[in-house]
Structure 1
């Protein structure tokens, strides 16, 4: 499969959110991009900081270009996400940007909302 042929790329942000959540639960994993400084953060349109997450390493790699070219996808188990990441992000006032794709930031949720969706 070519990177740009992923079916999620053709979906609306809302459809992508639903499919992403399904895949994350199915595979029991969340993917982020990481470099020597830690995980990649993006700004939302409202200038809030968010951590982008993806359901697969291939989709995460689509962001690893230009200023993020040194970044590598990092797998986080769903249980680690629920135990450590959700409270850590919430404590730092960070949002979760679900499956952004080139040109679109994706749906933006609070860490609590995101984890609640994953727990459905």
Structure 2
């Protein structure tokens, strides 16, 4: 028997985290999130300690991981809203953090700066 997850704001986290959508390729979503956030923290920590590692390939890889996580987070939020029709507060907090990381990463990325500049200049 699985223990109930304590979920703030009277949301129904259990229904979400035990749904058919709680795994991706057989891996629990929460495990994927922990791996993503851990790798992100270690990567950015290493970049602070060793600035020489701040190379285009490293920055592009981190940006790619962030974009993938952000898109996946949007997908999971839409699943909560339209398929499961229940909310998990912890999932929404994670989605918000993921969105903030994406916004910060995108705002400092030369690739996104060029993309946004070309979009806004064409308006």
Question: Which has the greater radius of gyration?
Answer: 2
> Larger % of strand: which?
1
Bigger share in helix: 2
**Which bracket does the TM-score occupy, shorter chain normalised?**
under 0.3
TM-score, normalised via structure 2 length: 0.25
| Higher RCO (C-alpha under 8 Å, 6+ residues apart) | 2
